[in-house]
A = this chain, B = another copy of it.
């Protein structure tokens, strides 16, 4: 049972795949063909990466005739932000604990 951060880290760990996602963030909706032109890999590979991104909720697809338009779903990144915040939070609270300890020792 992979949790949200797990899926996100795994999905974004591949440079090619992350580059596709970044481009969708920067430039908005794009077709598979347009993405393939700059991806440096074959069209089937791009399709596969888009499938993984979609599975992770990071992109949406919209069919229009024989074209498929993909766009980034930014809210899917929230678990990542949340995870980072948690890590920072743990860090901070341990720091607070230390401060508390030092204060108590000071008395």
Contacts and interface: CB of A to CB of B under 8 A. Distances in A.
A22 B89 CA distance: 11
A13 B18 CA distance: 13
Contacts of A28: 94
A10 B10 CA distance: 8
Interface stretch (A32-40, A43-51, A62-70, A80-88): A80-88
A22 B87 contact: yes
Copies of this chain per assembly: 2
Taking residues whose C-beta sits less than 8 angstroms from the other chain, chain A's interface range is: 20 to 34
A9 B17 CA distance: 12
A29 B22 CA distance: 35
A59 to B, nearest CB: 12
Interface string A10-25: 1011010010011001
12 contacts: A2-B15, A6-B18, A9-B9, A13-B13, A26-B94, A28-B94, A72-B91, A74-B87, A74-B88, A77-B87, A80-B80, A84-B84
Given A6-B15, A94-B28, A84 B88 contact: no
